[in-house]
Structure 1
Amino acid sequence: MNATTLPASTTARRPVPARWMLTSIGSAVALGGVYAVAVLTKPGQEIEDSILRSVDGGTLLKSGRALDAISIPAILVVVGVVVLIAFVRRRPGAAFQSATLIVGSIATAQIIKAIAPRPELTESTLSNSFPSGHVTIAVAGLLALSTAFGRHLRPLIMVVGTAFAALVAEQTVAYGWHRVSDVCGACAVALLWLGIVRSAAAVWSRDRRDTVSKKAHGFTSAVLGLALVATLAAAGAIFSIGIGADMTVTMSTGPGVLVGARLLSAGVVIATAWLAWKLDRSV
């Protein structure tokens, strides 16, 4: 069979699915909204400063194993692995998507850090950190690995990778490196680039070899959904207890407030992974 008679399902181009355009647009809007509310307003800064004040002085700006795993060499290894896997599987398009997703997300996060100021509206002495570079790398790496691996391993990669990325997000807050809004911003950046690369792939390829079965897709979606509900429910309950009946959100500090914020950060990452999985029915 020559190239001119290949089935249309593997050669024809198709319009960009609306869901990917909406993903990019929605992510950009969410990114700007979180920045405007949490960074550019005094109440937003006060709420997050109260969480930062809850971090114990003995652990402030220390590091956990998940955070230590995020480094320049680690980034290079992940990019190399995803590209190698994609090429071994004869999927140069997936290699390009994966590499672009990681590099584009990291570059965007760093540019935003450089051009988006944090006005001094409170007495906090910590500098601007929006969005979190650590979380951007973790989430973008998760989505890139999910792209590079085939249909059989993709569900496992998604679940395990989500757990690691959520742990990274939780530790950035636990050690006072980042605020919850920084985690939200990082997830929005990664989703923005996921929409971009998937839109490009939709135009240039109709290869459906990696479509995950409905059973595997539904099981993974259920696992991520249950983890999301449990994490957010625990975050809300613990944060409410930490605030207490007679305390205001902007003044409350303590272990309950910090644990609630840590769980909320993990929940944001899980929500991002769940949404990406629901959207990414095929590559």
Structure 2
Amino acid sequence: MLPIAAAPTVPLLDAPPRSAAPRGRAAAVLAIVLGIATVVGSYVLAVLDPTGRALDDAVMETATGVGLRSEGLDVLELVGVPTVAVAVIVLAGVALLRGRGDRAVGVVAVVLGAQLVTQALKAGLVRPDSLEGNSLPSGHVTLVASLGLALVLVVPRALRPLAGLAAVAVTGIAGVATMVAGWHRPSDVLAAVGVVAATGGVVTLAGALLRARPRPRSA
């Protein structure tokens, strides 16, 4: 006897993806929140607060006094528009070779988006009681950190822990180089990392939401 109702051979609705999408979105939201908190905290505690500002300046002065200014400048000379452009092209190319066009777009969005946010903040924020222009966040550290994040995005999942360690290492080197060269304070470095974290979270969340949109069914 045939059952009164049977499941259709072809489902009427696309099945929800069985993946870690909810966890990925939660991680992206957390990155956005922590990134924004890092930027705001760096500015409030190390720029607006007189005690924090004095401590921030003292750390930079100590860093510039270790006698490695020329070495720091040598490192920073590697972070230029040609170098960054080549790195972006290579990383996007790796993503395309792996058949991940979305990750290639993500590479460009993370690097360009983070730098735009950094330059907007640098132009809009002020340092009280100072004739100096605002240096928060660091543009050089933003570039290096965003390239590190882009590397993590494009490599296979098994290589992501190693890529993450490499990203942290080169970002740390860039941050120290900006301080020993006398270009930036610790708060500038932390704010740059916060900008990259928030931007990466926004790009990741946007990609996840776009992939989750229901696709129109063919007739």
Q: TM-score range by the shorter chain?
A: 0.7 to 0.9
> What's the counterpart of residue 17 of structure 1?
25
Q: Note the C-alpha offset of 1:29.
A: 2.6
Contact 1:82 1:99 in 2 (8 A): no
Q: Note the C-alpha offset of 1:20.
A: 1.8
Aligned equivalents of 2:70, 2:47: Cα separation in 1:
20
Aligned equivalents of 2:201, 2:162: Cα separation in 1:
22
Amino acid at match of 1:165: T
Q: Note the C-alpha offset of 1:162.
A: 2.0
Q: Note the C-alpha offset of 1:58.
A: 6.2
Contact 1:117 1:128 in 2 (8 A): yes
TM-score if structure 2 supplies the norm length?
Answer: 0.79
TM-score if structure 1 supplies the norm length?
Answer: 0.63
Aligned equivalents of 2:129, 2:71: Cα separation in 1:
24
Contact 2:91 2:154 in 1 (8 A): yes
Aligned equivalents of 2:14, 2:159: Cα separation in 1:
28
Contact 2:126 2:133 in 1 (8 A): no
Taking the TM superposition and a 5 Å limit, the aligned residue runs for 1:195-210 are: 195-205=201-211
Q: How many residues align?
A: 200
Are 2:64 and 1:49 equivalent residues in the alignment? no
Aligned equivalents of 2:194, 2:113: Cα separation in 1:
13
- Computing the radius of gyration over CA atoms, which structure comes out larger, 1 or 2? 2
The alpha-carbon distance between structure 1 residues 173 and 8, as it changes in their structure 2 partners (threshold 3 A), is same
2:72 aligns to what SS in structure 1? coil
> What's the counterpart of residue 140 of structure 1?
146
Q: Note the C-alpha offset of 1:16.
A: 7.1
Selected match of 2:180 from 174, 177, 193: 174
Contact 1:143 1:194 in 2 (8 A): yes
> What's the counterpart of residue 104 of structure 1?
113
Aligned equivalents of 1:195, 1:189: Cα separation in 2:
10
Aligned equivalents of 2:187, 2:209: Cα separation in 1:
33
User: What are the superposed Cα offsets for residues 224-277 of structure 1, whole Å, 9 maximum, x if unpaired?
Assistant: xxxxxxxxxxxxxxxxxxxxxxxxxxxxxxxxxxxxxxxxxxxxxxxxxxxxxx
Gaps of 5+ in 1: 207-283
The alpha-carbon distance between structure 1 residues 151 and 62, as it changes in their structure 2 partners (threshold 3 A), is closer
1:113 aligns to what SS in structure 2? helix
Taking the TM superposition and a 5 Å limit, the aligned residue runs for 1:1-283 are: 8-9=16-17, 17-54=25-62, 55-56=64-65, 63-120=72-129, 126-205=132-211
The alpha-carbon distance between structure 1 residues 179 and 23, as it changes in their structure 2 partners (threshold 3 A), is same
Gaps of 5+ in 2: 1-11, 213-219
Identity in percent: 28
Contact 1:78 1:141 in 2 (8 A): yes
The alpha-carbon distance between structure 1 residues 58 and 158, as it changes in their structure 2 partners (threshold 3 A), is closer
The alpha-carbon distance between structure 1 residues 88 and 126, as it changes in their structure 2 partners (threshold 3 A), is same
Contact 1:52 1:179 in 2 (8 A): yes
> What's the counterpart of residue 279 of structure 1?
none
